[in-house]
Structure 1
């Protein structure tokens, strides 16, 4: 049980009146498994907890950014050989774009949700990823001209350029990673706003990184994936 949440989570809890343990459980289930909000409403009802599906959504929007912020310092370092790609996510009936990369071992480097798929979006993604993870030695991308242009723009400001490899067939690691995200998103039946999509996708990515073992446990004690997620609120 979490008795004293950290300051960031405490701020997010304003006007949320349910016990934190219940809220964290619902939010974790939502971003960890292919469940709709109405599934969660029914599941909590079976546990004698009366909560509306829209309330669960509000908890997710409030808590996930705070938990993501807490995860930052706990994230393990990634390798310097990246595989980068993007995928389509529907928001209000229109396609938007989730950029991300994994390293050679399949660990998530970083992610960014963008309204457009162009050079500016690709450059913004690489700038964010480099700022938070350091400069890679090599980046592998598909045949996307926008991604290549974004990387070339990054290299234009560097004395030692990042090596760029383009291949339609060598990005299997990151494409397999796509499937895990799409599996969680599918029951959500699309997003109603870009902001909500960005937050929920960030939570799914957070849960996915924890599941892949990317969270540091400084005391050396083995914790389950669920325990690690709840630890972020402490």
Structure 2
């Protein structure tokens, strides 16, 4: 069943302006104040606090409507975790990407152990609907134990040099973390990455798209889909 259109009731700004502000904030390493300045240059006077409200209210709605990559039993899951400081306490953002660098899922947890690794794998299997051909991880033993308990027949390659794809997937978020001067709560981080990665999945070309024309066509198609999801025509 298709979802009902995004509702903009009781919002005085046009949907195109709201969608543009949300897109700028999640697509590029921009602060709320920089998005405010970019909109002002276009003659749109809106405060950064309003943009913050738009990002929180409409970001998740947009992300939930974006196309998702179809799962395949031939997929390769690259798994990795990265430390994020929140309120002076270390948390771990566990991430899974596939062979094309497409972000499959992310989950914020306080632990870096087998229980946390199992939680990531369980979420992945539920969301993807099938098990992968192979998982690739670093040398953290928790992955191996979790894999043995949940998917014993799935191939597992554990080597730091093989997992650059997952490790590189952390870099865009690190840029945003510096721009935002860190995250203020685990829930806030979880909400942000769910939207941030969905937008990035849509707009970043696949590894097979090398030519300038292919990249331009991909971006035009992505923008058209974004506008459709937001409920207006460009």
Shorter-chain TM-score: which interval?
0.7 to 0.9
Go from structure 1 to structure 2 and tell me whether the alpha carbon gap of 1:17 and 1:120 turns closer, same or farther (over 3 Å shift): farther
1:200 partnered with 2:192: yes
Distance in 1 separating the partners of 2:114 and 2:5: 34
TM-score under structure 2 normalisation?
0.81
Per-residue CA shift, 1:65-110, capped at 9, x if unaligned? 2122212x54343552211111223333333222222222323232
Where structure 2 has 5 or more consecutive residues not aligned to the other structure, the ranges are 207-216
Distance in 1 separating the partners of 2:87 and 2:5: 30
How many Å apart are 1:14 and its aligned residue?
5.5
Distance in 1 separating the partners of 2:69 and 2:224: 15
Go from structure 1 to structure 2 and tell me whether the alpha carbon gap of 1:52 and 1:118 turns closer, same or farther (over 3 Å shift): farther
Judge conservation of contact 2:77–2:135 (CA < 8 Å) in 1: yes
1:154 match: 150
Matched ranges for 1:1-234 at <5 A: 7=4, 9-10=6-7, 13=8, 16-71=11-66, 74-77=68-71, 79-133=74-128, 134-155=130-151, 161-213=153-205, 223-234=220-231
Judge conservation of contact 1:70–1:232 (CA < 8 Å) in 2: yes
TM-score under structure 1 normalisation?
0.81
2:212 match: none
Per-residue CA shift, 1:131-163, capped at 9, x if unaligned? 1222112111111123333323313xxxx6222
Distance in 1 separating the partners of 2:168 and 2:51: 29
Judge conservation of contact 1:107–1:212 (CA < 8 Å) in 2: no
Per-residue CA shift, 1:199-219, capped at 9, x if unaligned? 1111110111112347xxxxx
SS of alignment partner, residue 55 of structure 1: helix
2:209 match: none
Aligned length: 216
Go from structure 1 to structure 2 and tell me whether the alpha carbon gap of 1:17 and 1:150 turns closer, same or farther (over 3 Å shift): farther
Per-residue CA shift, 1:22-53, capped at 9, x if unaligned? 11111111111111111112222222222221
Provide the aligned C-alpha RMSD in A.
2.4
